[in-house]
Amino acid sequence: MQYRRLGRTGLKVSALCLGTMNFGWSADESTSFAIMDAALEAGIDFFDTADIYSYWHSGNRGGESETIIGAWMKARQNRRQIVLATKVRGRMWEGANGQGLSRVHIMHAVEDSLRRLQTDYIDLYQVHHPDWETPLDETLEALDRLVQAGKVLYIGASNYPAWLLMKALWVSNARGVARFDSIQPHYSLLHRSEFERELESAVLDQGVGVIPYSPLAAGFLTGKYTRENRTPDTTRQSSGLIKQLVEDDRAYMVLDVVRRIAEAHAAPMAQIALAWMLARPSITSPIIGARTVEQLQEIVGAAEIELIPEQIEALSAVSAGY
Ligand SMILES: NC(=O)c1ccc[n+]([C@@H]2O[C@H](COP(=O)([O-])OP(=O)(O)OC[C@H]3O[C@@H](n4cnc5c(N)ncnc54)[C@H](OP(=O)(O)O)[C@@H]3O)[C@@H](O)[C@H]2O)c1
């Protein structure tokens, strides 16, 4: 496994980050423990969760993923081995302040996350989405207090457009408070322009680490979806992204190129899709989702694959416009 600095910070993280959005619904506690064991065994020490995961599953209320990770770290006694990232913003309790990025929401939400995670610090605390009803200075000052208190070590943002990230960096600088050192955008061979249009230049210029989510397009880039079989073994069939991709002729043309390069490397297609991304200087650590240990094991070799320039060019050309 390679280890990379997160943006301009001194924090080193594995070149693949384990996403844990599956924990507490499509992966039960014992499967989640096995996935985390296998990830750490393979050198993946960077885990991403969010307080809201996985509220969407019937009977869940949010907090299930953090609770499973907390129980695992306690059982394995390995808190210091893990770079733990979580998020705040979504609705976690009833009432007008049960969601958002106000000081009051952040101060209560962080205590709940720490309790579920059974730890006294979060390595990377991220704002999940913008909150258009709270001034950025209120959010950044609240986060800075957490950094000063040692409850949070680094802060990051997710789903921020370039202009808002730049504004936040400016507010942090002007007020002398902690700044966002990472950004978590949606990014893959099949979802490029949202990141590449403006955000990519901003992060390169400002030294902000990038940890893209859904790098396998929710599983589409693993190659299990084909023109002939649009309903493989999956829990993501109802996601908007998959519904759109299975009907998109061009997406299968991207898969054809990924498949050809995968054959040349004798590697799984998922690793090629990740290797393309890892070759970009802006990218720190794609967040991979795995619902089983077998899925994880098929992906983990991605950081060892070196694509030649012609292969990177072929992948970029066929996916241009996404
Ligand atoms: N910040 C945000 O707003 C945001 C949004 C989404 C996700 N995230 C983060 O990013 C992480 C990853 O997101 P994602 O799950 O969308 O990522 P992804 O890596 O694009 O997709 C993962 C899904 O692909 C399928 N898969 C993975 N490996 C496979 C394999 N070897 N063979 C066949 N199928 C395979 C699995 O679903 P099936 O087996 O069910 O098909 C798995 O759940 C999440 O866990 C979360 O931490 C953040």
- What are the b/e assignments for 106-116, b being 16+ CB within 10 Å? beebbebbbeb
Q: Which atom of ligand 1 is nearest to the CA of 188?
A: 20
pLDDT at residue number 111 = 98
Mean pLDDT of 284-295: 97
Q: Which residue, chain included where needed, has tokens 């390069």?
A: 261
18 Cα to the center of ligand 1, angstroms: 9
pTM over 0.85? The answer is yes
pLDDT value, residue 305: 96
- 3-218+280-305 topology per CATH: TIM Barrel (3.20.20)
Q: Is the Cβ atom of 219 under 6 angstroms away from ligand 1?
A: yes
For residues 289 and 22, the answer to whether their CB atoms sit within 8 Å is: yes
Q: Output the residue whose Cα is nearest ligand 1's atom 21.
A: 218
- pLDDT attached to residue 159: 98
Q: What is the pLDDT of residues 252-266, one digit of tens each?
A: 999 999 999 999 999
Cα–Cα distances in angstroms (integers) from residue 191 to residues 172, 204, 259, 277, 318, in the given order: 30, 19, 18, 12, 12
Question: Which band of pLDDT confidence, cut at 50, 70 and 90, is reported for residue 291?
Answer: very high
Check pocket membership of 56 for ligand 1, CB cut-off 6 A: no
Residue of 54, 287, 293, 297 with the most ligand 1 atoms within 8 Å of its CB, for mutation: 287
Q: What is the chain's mean pLDDT, rounded? A: 97
Q: What is the pLDDT of residue 16?
A: 98
Q: Which ligand 1 atom is nearest residue 242's CA?
A: 41
pLDDT, tens digit (0-9, with 9 covering 90-100), for 23-66: 999 999 999 999 999 999 999 999 999 999 999 999 999 999 99
Q: Provide the residue type at 24 as one letter.
A: G
